[in-house]
Amino acid sequence: MTPQQRRCRQSWVALCGGLALLAGLATPNLDRLQQLALSRHGNEVARQVGEWRTMLHAQQGTGELEKLESVNRYLNRRIRWVEDQVLWQQDDYWATLLETFAKGAGDCEDFAIAKYVSLLLAGVQEQKLRLTYVRMQRSPHAEPEAHMILAYYATPTGEPLILDNLDTEIKPASRRADLTPVYAFNASQLWFRGPSPSSSDPTARISRWRDVLARLQAEHTL
């Protein structure tokens, strides 16, 4: 491991702290979710939800790495990247999985949310999954960009694996030196790394997360 990779790994592991967001999640009902897809969006979206459910069902009895690969590949292939201004006429909208299927598109937050929900339903423990805001450096002389990925931690202090819509190969964080973590969260906790940049206010972000969690529950996804 190079010194740069070691520093990158240490910066990801350094995400620590905690803040309870929700006491728990409701019980999902994917039959009702598919019925809702049909009533709101029609046969095509209901069919997509059915295919997604079939993919999840196929993960029963598989290992967690296989679940990661299957979910990451499935959603990266079926969702087009489209920015929120075009898709929702808003600067920053966090979509539920059903909304993303209905549009057939989403931005980085929507990919990360869809993967998070899918892996929970496939049986991956919540504490192993963290939606993570990062600063992404596309090239040495470019300005860092705000981006979201899903990080999987086999152990709480281990090096995470990165599920990304831009780099579709799942890689350990030490091989993603282009990403610098800012803060991370799931339905139960919030992790900070150092002072939050003014462009990524955690309070505003978590407000959106609470909103999308409530909508996911209302749609019977979580």
Q: Backbone phi, then psi, for 140, in 5-degree steps?
A: -55, -30
Q: Which pTM was predicted? A: 0.87
Tokens of 150: 């899903």
Alpha helices for 16-107 (secondary structure H):
30-41, 43-57, 64-78, 84-87, 97-103
Local structure of residue 128 (DSSP, 8 states): G
Q: How many domains does the chain have?
A: 1
Is pLDDT of 20 > 50? no
Residues linked to residue 180 through DSSP beta bridges, in sequence order: 135
State the average pLDDT for the chain: 87
Tokens of 56: 């999840």
Q: Which tops the pLDDT comparison, 93 or 207?
A: 93
Nearest to 173 by CA among 154, 196, 201: 154
Q: What range does the domain containing 139 cover?
A: 3-218
Is pLDDT of 199 > 50? no
Please state, in angstroms and rounded to a whole number, the distance separating the CA atoms of residues 204 and 26: 24
Please state, in angstroms and rounded to a whole number, the distance separating the CA atoms of residues 21 and 68: 25
CATH classification at residue 168: 3.10.620.30
Q: What is the mean pLDDT of residues 64-72?
A: 98
Q: Which tops the pLDDT comparison, 17 or 109?
A: 109
Is pLDDT of 17 > 70? no
